Chain A
Amino acid sequence: MNDKTRLIAAVIVFGSLWGFLEAILGSLLKTVDFPYGAIMTAGFAVPLLLIARRMYAKPGVSSGIGLVAGSLAFFNPWIGCSICSAIAIAAEGLIFEILWLKIDTQEIPQTNLIQRASLGIVSAYAIYIGGYTITQILTPVVFGSFYLENLAYLLPQILARGLPAALLGGVTVLTILSIKPLHIRLPDKQYYPLTAGVSAICWIAVIASWIITA
């Protein structure tokens, strides 16, 4: 199979992993009153998007991963508003795509530790507050009740809530960018069953949880 098919398989597996983590781990963190949104974005979403970006530096990969993860979020049984979560996740993938459009991953070896941590701070903060803001706009729009003054009222809170995401993003991105990427190309015979298997497990687990709790 060609590189395009391998890329699509990668988008599906990364998106499925992200959606699975949001549904299972994110919901657990939410119940124990953790800043789960910031942790999920900076601790899992940004690292997954970054790893995919380093492995497949092609346009559309990050937004594709966000779309797959967002689709899986529709079946998240432990949140009341799956549309809010799905929109936020898809938006986060798109924001990462735009943010990293002009960043050449080949430059990473020339950067120092502060620059790498800074990339994490900027990425995690932008993605978190971007996703949050888009949710706060689109969710009321979907329900026919959007008011700009309500968003303005919430703005300081949005900007403040991004701080834990920024700090955590600094650490996770610094860690990932300090690890040399592995250049392993699995043969098709192993690559496709592996990506299909992991994706299927993620989808089955979330959908099964959705059916059981329905």
Chain B
Amino acid sequence: MHSMPSVIMKNVSLFAIAILLLSISASLYVKAIQTSNETDEQILIVNNQEYAIDKLFSTFEHITITTDDGQKTGIPLDTLILDTGLEEPATYEYTMKAIDYQQTVKWEHIQTGILSQEQMKVYFPTLAHAFWVHDIIEIEVNKI
């Protein structure tokens, strides 16, 4: 003889509907944010200064670093940041911003990192891949 379904089982459909509504709303929100940020201008903002992306990669020297995902080539992030005129860089933290993702790193990481033109992606050989933000639109600099 089986017992009647519990309260959890009776209400599980309501939870499922709530989850579907929540995730669909979040998907629409993310899509709207991505669409509103789409622009023809290829600009990267570094420490509140605008850099044209094509010019950026033809101006700065390129270096190759070794990561656990192979060799990567790009602009040294420390060179790029110091180009904005920032002084005492070790007293700041740096947020790599994409439209819907961001990670913050310290100067010690910046010194080993690069910005690659492919996917506009930053690579930090000493950090987890979660820090390798792609489609970067801004590098925000804040005092620690």
Residue ranges of A at the interface with B (Cβ–Cβ < 8 Å): 79-81, 83-84, 102-104, 106-107, 109-111, 114-115, 117-119, 121-122, 125, 135-136, 139-140, 142-143, 145, 147, 150, 153-154, 156-157, 159-160, 162-163, 166, 170
Do most interface residues of chain A lie in helix, strand or loop, or is the interface mixed? helix
Question: How big is the B interface, by class?
Answer: 35 or more
Asked whether any CB of chain A lies closer than 8 Å to the CB of B117, the reply is no
On whether the beta carbons of A122 and B130 are closer than 8 Å, the reply is no
Asked whether any CB of chain A lies closer than 8 Å to the CB of B27, the reply is yes
What residues on A are CB-neighbors of B29 within 8 Å?
156, 160
CB-defined A-B contacts under 8 Å, sample of 27? A80-B67, A80-B69, A81-B128, A81-B130, A104-B3, A106-B3, A107-B6, A110-B3, A114-B13, A115-B9, A118-B13, A140-B130, A140-B131, A142-B128, A143-B127, A145-B127, A147-B95, A150-B104, A154-B100, A156-B29, A157-B30, A159-B22, A160-B26, A160-B29, A166-B20, A166-B23, A170-B16
Bound: A118/B68 CA distance, A: 41
On whether the beta carbons of B131 and A145 are closer than 8 Å, the reply is yes
Chain B: which residue is nearest A159 at the CB level? Answer: B26
What residues on A are CB-neighbors of B33 within 8 Å?
156
- Given the interface pairs A135-B130, A159-B23, the reply to whether A117 lies near B16 with Cβ below 8 Å is yes
